[in-house]
Chain A
C-alpha cells in the first residue's frame, strides 16, 4: 500500500491556500518519485493550523501546519513522510490538545477520511447505523432517536424523535425528508464542514430518517455561498447511489430512499424551515404560518421532516451505539454532544465538539485562547446574527439550551463570535437591525418595517436626538418585533439589540458612528 499524504479540500483550508499546497505536494511526489498518494480529506477543524498537511505512518498520523506552498519542498527534505521533525511539525494529530480534549461523535471521521470514499467511510464504522436501521421497524427507530434525547441542532432545540413520530403517524402516499443545510448564521460552519468532510454521515442520517418515517424522497437544501460543499455533496450522492446506499432497496432491504441536492439563492430567511420549503417548491422564500406543521403539511403539502444537518448527522451514531450511549453525554435536557464553532476574533478558531455543559469562559478563554488580536475579550455573540451579545460577566454560563435561555440568550447553531475591546455595541445593534431589514421576507410588519425603524432609531441615538427617549423607543420596538413576528428573524433580532443595550449601555451615547452603509 502506498503512503498517504493528506491535504484538506475543506473550503476554509482552500481559502488559506490548500489547493496550492496540494499542487506543490503532487509535484514533489512526482519529482522525487515517491510511492505516495495525495488524499484530499476534510478539515480537522483547527483553522489556525490550516492548511494542515498530514501523513500516515506506521505509528499513526502526523500533522504539519500551517503549510504554505513554499514549505512543501523542505517538508519532503526533512522526510516528513516518516513523521520526522520540522519547524511546522505538530506531532501526532490525535495528540494535539485542541483535538484531544474533544468528544467527536457527529464529527467522528471528519478530517480523517477521503470524503468521497465509501470504503474509507466503512473502514471507520460508517453505515453501521444504517445497517441496523434497515433491519428495524420504523417505530423502533423513532423510539431510539427519541430516547437519545437528540434535539434539533438548527437552533430551536425541538426533540428530533417527536418530530419524526408525527411524520411517521401521518397518512400520505408521499412523505419527504428535507435537510436544512442553509447555514447562514455568521460564526457557524459546522454544516459546511460535514458536507465537505464527511458527506456520507449526512446521507446515512437522511436515509435512516426516511426509513423511520416512511419517506422515500429527500432534499438537501444548501447555500449558493457554499460551492465546495455543493460539489462534494452532489458527488457523494452519486457515489452513494452507485453503492446501493440510495435508491431502490437500499442495502438490499425492502426500503427505498433517494435524495437530491438543491441550492438556495442568497436569502438568509430560507434557513427558517417554512420559508425553506417555499423556496424548495420554487416560490418566494416567504415564511408560512404554523400550523399546519411541516411534519403534517410540508414540502408540496405532504408530511415532511425538516431537520438540520447536525441533527441528521448525529442519527447514525445513535443507531449504531444506542440511545443510552448518546444520552449519557451532556447536562440537564441538553443531551449528547454539540459541535461548537469558535469564530471571529479568536486565537484558536475552529470546530470543537464536546458534551453540553462547558462554560462560555472555558470555551472562549481556555480552548479558544482569547482573541486573535491579543486584546481583551469584550463581548461574544452566541448563536448567529439573532443571538445575544454576552459580556465577560456572563462567562460562567454553561453551554446548554436552557441555561442560555435563562440569561436571555440562545445557543442557536452553536457558533461563538468573539470580539475584542475595539467593538462598538451600538454599531453591532444597528447592524442587527440593518441585517434584519435586508433579509426580511416581508410577511410580517414588525419585522419588515420594525427593522428599518430600528436602524433609524439607533442613528438618532448617535445623532443625539433625544437619546433617552430613543432608547426607550428601541426597547418598545424590540418588544413589538419579539411578540409580533411569525419567525425567528423578526422575533429574535431583538436579542442582539437588547443584550447590547442591557450589558453595554455605555456604548449607546451620541457620537459619530463609523458605518459602512449598504
Chain B
C-alpha cells in the first residue's frame, strides 16, 4: 500500500493529480482531496511536490492541509466511523452513543483500534438532523443510530 510508495512513484502519482487540476481556479483543495483519495491520507512528501508544481512554499501547502479537519496526516484504519456530535444529535442521545463507541472500540476520538479496523472521528452535522442521532461508516449514512445499531455496524466493519 501507500506505506511502501517510493519517492519516485509518489512524485508521479501526485504529479498526475496536480496536472489534472491544472486548469482550475484555486486548485489546492481539489488537489488535496484527490491526494487523500489516492493514498488514504496526505503524505508529507506530497506537500513538497504540490508546492513545487503550484509555485507555493511547502509551508503554505502545509498550512492549508493542516487547517482543514478532513485532511489526515497518517493512514486511517480500514474503516472510518464518524459519529455526529452536534446539537440535534445530542438532543437524541448522541453523547450516549459516542461513549458506547469509545468504550466498545477502546479508542478516543481520532484514534484507530488495535486491529487497525476502525478509526473513530467526530463530525459536526451530516444533515440528518430530523433522524438523529446520525453516523457515517465510510460512505454509508445511518440515521437513528443507537447502541445496538452501532454494534452491528462495528461487527460488519470488522468481519
Contact = CB atoms under 8 A, between A and B. Distances in A.
A41 interface: no
Interface string A183-215: 111111100100000000000000000000000
A344 B92 contact: yes
Interface string A431-442: 100010011010
Interface stretch (A144-152, A222-230, A355-363): A222-230
Contacts of A514: 95
B73 to A, nearest CB: 14
Contacts of A263: 29-30, 33
B129 A188 contact: yes
B134 to A, nearest CB: 6
B91 A420 contact: yes
A227 B90 CA distance: 23
Size class of the B contact interface (CB-based, 8 Å): 35 or more
B127 A12 contact: yes
A417 B88 contact: yes
B71 interface: yes
B89 to A, nearest CB: 7
A267 interface: yes
Contact of B128 (A11, A428, A438, A516): A11
B64 A186 contact: no
Contacts of B27: 282
Interface string B90-119: 111001001100100000010000000000
A20 B143 CA distance: 14
Contact of A344 (B95, B109, B132, B144): B132
A344 B124 contact: no
Interface stretch (A83-91, A239-247, A345-353): A345-353
A343 B129 contact: yes
A330 interface: no
A186 B86 contact: yes
A431 B90 contact: yes
A187 B129 contact: yes
A516 B132 CA distance: 17
A345 B125 contact: no
Interface residues of A, number: 67
Nearest to B31: A282
Nearest to B69: A266
A284 B131 contact: no
Given A282-B28, A341-B130, A344-B87, A225 B144 contact: no
Contact of A381 (B24, B68, B87, B126): B87
A283 interface: yes
Contacts of B81: none
Nearest to B68: A265
B127 A225 contact: yes
Contacts of B131: 12, 15-16, 47, 50, 349
A203 to B, nearest CB: 19
A344 B25 CA distance: 39
A48 B68 CA distance: 34
B19 interface: no
B32 interface: yes
A178 B83 CA distance: 30
A418 B127 contact: no
Contacts of A284: 63-64, 67
B148 interface: no
Contacts of A12: 127-128, 130-131, 143
Contact of A518 (B32, B109, B125, B141): B109
Contact of B130 (A264, A266, A346, A428): A346
B43 interface: no
A186 B32 contact: no
A341 B124 contact: no
B106 to A, nearest CB: 15
A508 B149 CA distance: 34
A372 B69 CA distance: 32
A15 B129 contact: no
A300 B87 contact: no
21 contacts: A12-B128, A15-B134, A15-B141, A184-B125, A186-B129, A224-B70, A225-B125, A227-B139, A229-B127, A265-B71, A282-B26, A283-B28, A300-B25, A341-B129, A344-B88, A418-B91, A420-B91, A431-B87, A439-B124, A516-B85, A516-B98
Interface of B: 24-30, 32-33, 63-64, 67-71, 85-92, 95, 98-99, 102, 109, 122-132, 134, 136, 139, 141-144
Given A343-B88, A417-B88, 14 more contacts: A11-B127, A12-B128, A50-B131, A187-B129, A188-B125, A189-B128, A267-B69, A280-B26, A282-B29, A282-B64, A299-B26, A341-B130, A349-B129, A518-B122
